[in-house]
Structure 1
């Protein structure tokens, strides 16, 4: 039985993946060697991208994965390198479900809309509390959208052009998973006016989000019900797993906020991306330094295998 106590304590092929940000290629052979020396058993290094990513293959009980990660982080010290230890079997996934705001893009779209009314700081403070899980997502969204009442709906197009930036690595992530038979779903607590653009820009197969209600060309301050939040994100992940004939172990879920936690917990690989502390503490893997291409390195892709 793969999930039995005996299986967890029996030696098994594991792999530790080390990933630096592409803008700071600090992963030198010396640093890789230092990390390998921190493991309790001999490890075989394999470079995935020069200065950026490497695997350390070794054999040890899977139950010790978190202890191995802690030892590797201690050995790496202050080096800006992400660490993830997992079984070698089943690394490559066939489904990715991703959050949008502060994950696929560098902003929170509602905060940028609020900037048009001079309310960015006020609304951003509510957003931050909701993403940390300090207040419930749905009422917080209704409150923030209510403050946008009267805003010209056409402003969203300008916000997209002038304020929104795509997170590096996103296009390669989706294209590479597609090239290997994968499916990509964008599931956001944000708004369709932005998810449709992000999904098209990055090549997602589908996008799911909330709808801002517009009358006479202006936002009414209301959002379509039911609100897509934590439970809806989880439900879409579970539905896609079933529809595609997969199991949870073949899926990745990635996000940064509290409303992503349920899908992060349910996926075979749940990833906290530059996330709030509560999310990072519960995810299988955390990306604090790398960009979205780290999700490909975690799956064992060499940089030469990235799809254009």
Structure 2
């Protein structure tokens, strides 16, 4: 049975979480926004997902950099500076007694509109900022089994249509890709760029391993992924050959390993793409998961996380 890499086991503690909305912490059942909010009416806003480890949001500086870049690109005034947002995030975690096994969603919309219409000039208030923290981790059984991908006809488009670099609330392109993959019995959609080269997945980034080299797309048609960038960083620090380049499905099908990356689940091995088992073992079943390179990169990525958490803890103590 297909399942998303973002699936998780329900945690009863999430029923009592407190959610930060424009400076007020509200119980989950009371955490609402207006039906006139730009995010609801139009998907007009930007967001970030963060993993919390040992009480600290991992790679927080990189996530906030992307959030503010996106807001500037769509002329959205968040209304808080970085220090204020960081304080709001930690206040939310502290109010919920959260330190580990937590995923946090930071969302910013343009705010409430006086009528449901796209023109930003009909917005009548400040930006709406919401911070939702949940006790949530990727299912270990999904990570152990590996993902099944299906290449969909929905493409990642040109930046002059809707720039894939923009982490906006408007995700219909990815949603339609996800729907097609789900209907095909897959866990995640593999998406091509307008030229037919592999771009990314619908909610994660995509890598392959070939003859000791790590490949991912050029990045021209996908979000500037934080985990993606850190995997490339880990490769370079460890002297592992890594390339951002164009490659085709033919090269994907014959890869030694494949994996996806994302904030929620980290590195997730891929076992099958379009009916082809990934891997070259003699049994023909693709071999044990994760493959040796994926396992090594997981360990290197964990080291980067530990360094970032130590840095963040030092910043808080300073």
Structure with bigger helix share is: 1
Length-normalised TM-score, structure 1:
0.30
Larger RCO of the pair (alpha carbons < 8 Å, separation 6+)? 1
Length-normalised TM-score, structure 2:
0.29
